[in-house]
Amino acid sequence: MDRTAQLTARLTEREFVYDPPPTRSSLHSRAARVLEDNWTGTSTVPSRGLYPHQWSWDSAFIAIGLRHLSPLRAQTELETLLAAQWGDGRIPHIVFNPSVPLDAYFPSPDFWRSSTAGRAAGAPRTVQTSGIVQPPVHALAAWLVHCADPGLSRARSFLTRMYPRLAAWHRYLLHRRDLGGGSLASVVHPWEQGMDNSPCWDLPLSRVTPAPARSFRRADLDHGAAEDRPTDLDYGRYVRLATDYRDAGYEDGHGEFAVEDPSFNALLIASEHALARIAQELGATGTARHARAERLTTALIDRLWDPAEGMFFSRDVRGGGLIPERSVSGLIPLLLPTLPRDIVEALVRTTASKHFGLGGTTRLVPSYDLLGEAFDPHRYWRGPAWFNTGWLVERGLRTHGERGRADALRRAVLDIADTSGFAEYVDPYTGEACGATGFGWTAALTLDLLHTGTAKGGDRQ
């Protein structure tokens, strides 16, 4: 096995030995109950109230946790999502449940009009979806789900069926979304990056004329306080971008918003490494995909790394230049197994710096710079800590041998998931619950950390 493959194995393989201590057995049971309550029979909703459909990256994280309860259900989770894939390869960020009333969530299926507006892009005719995407965690999730029960996976030809769909998804991102010409994928809407309301989007969004407030109804405010959610102005801009994209037939490359984001691309690279492992499992060579992942890592560093600031920044493709806002997105490239050591060390220092405070002033990694002008510990992605980003940073720290820091972050994630009722997100200082409780990926990633914390040899490979 070459050096890249060896390093990648740290990211994509683990041996599991689960024997929870008594103090954690109740947490395990309650996390499992959340996933059971949110299960629809074919997929898992993030939250029964606020998010009543299937979300793309939520399902990837949920499958990672579900594999510890039911590898079959974890496989089904991903199979259901990928069954809604478009002909051009994109995996839509929402797959709508037809039994849910239209007014339960906005934008609803009648807004996206996927089967008509997306016809040229190959949108499915029998399933209604959104037309935008979310971060590509899916190949990593598929590989980890396979590793949980390889016998079941092989018997069901799980990877054989998933591989061509995942390969098409990556082709779409690497070719149709290379809007900056630098080999990285661009997002064309803040919702695609997943950190919807981050201050990182304020500059590129300022060029977007908002849709009139009377043209849409914000269902999210039925489930959360207005002061914790995006402003009406920002929401109007989100609606305008989505409307223009829909009216252009979901054709890429023409919108006012195009951003190369470090987290989105780091997850694509991590999933390229996982796709190489899947190819090897299926009897092919993964060399080309590992090599592509290395080229993308180089592009990520060349285009988004700021050595003076010790972190990665988003690039505004339309406006030009890096966006000078520090967010947790700029720390997530720690996931990458072949990241140069000097960059790893700088990122580790940044996590503990006054901007993020991990191990000092904050309990979990805040989503945005503690010292930033836009920081708000409770407002959606403008400061609160999220459990999926904590899981990603913990995994990155452990990948690069930062065991003590990873252990401390793991303990904090488990403790706060417990005390917050598996909250959607929390105050990074206090761990106070914000948003929905009984949140799908919070419960799922709690299960993953419970199961992988006692891997053989005392470490997770």
The alpha carbon of residue 441 and the mean position of all alpha carbons in its chain are separated, in whole angstroms, by: 10
Report DSSP state, residue 368: B
Residues whose CB is less than 8 angstroms from the CB of residue 240 and which lie 6 or more positions away in sequence, other chains included: 208, 209, 210, 211
Q: Please list the residues that pair with 430 across neighbouring strands.
A: none
Tokens 């951003």 -> residue: 259
Catalytic residue among 58, 424, 427, 448: 424
Catalytic residue among 196, 202, 232, 415: 196
Type of residue at 138: H
Angstrom distance (rounded) from CA 180 to CA 186:
7
Length of the chain (residues): 461
Q: Please list the residues that pair with 22 across neighbouring strands.
A: none
Tokens 């720290």 -> residue: 397
Tokens of 276: 């190489």
Residues whose CB is less than 8 angstroms from the CB of residue 81 and which lie 6 or more positions away in sequence, other chains included: 43, 54, 56, 59, 60, 91, 95, 138
- Cα atoms in the Cβ-side hemisphere of radius 13 Å centred on 230: 22
CA distances to 275, 276, 287 from 284, in Å: 11, 9, 9
Tokens of 327: 């967010």
Q: Does the annotation count 325 as an active-site position?
A: no
* Cα angle 296-298-303, degrees, rounded to a multiple of 5: 95
Q: Does the annotation count 424 as an active-site position?
A: yes
SS3 state at 39: strand
Tokens of 46: 């993030």
Tokens of 265: 């691309």
Find the Cα–Cα–Cα–Cα dihedral 320, 324, 327, 329, rounded to 10°.
30
Find the Cα–Cα–Cα–Cα dihedral 441, 442, 448, 449, rounded to 10°.
150
Indicate which residues carry an active-site annotation. 196, 424
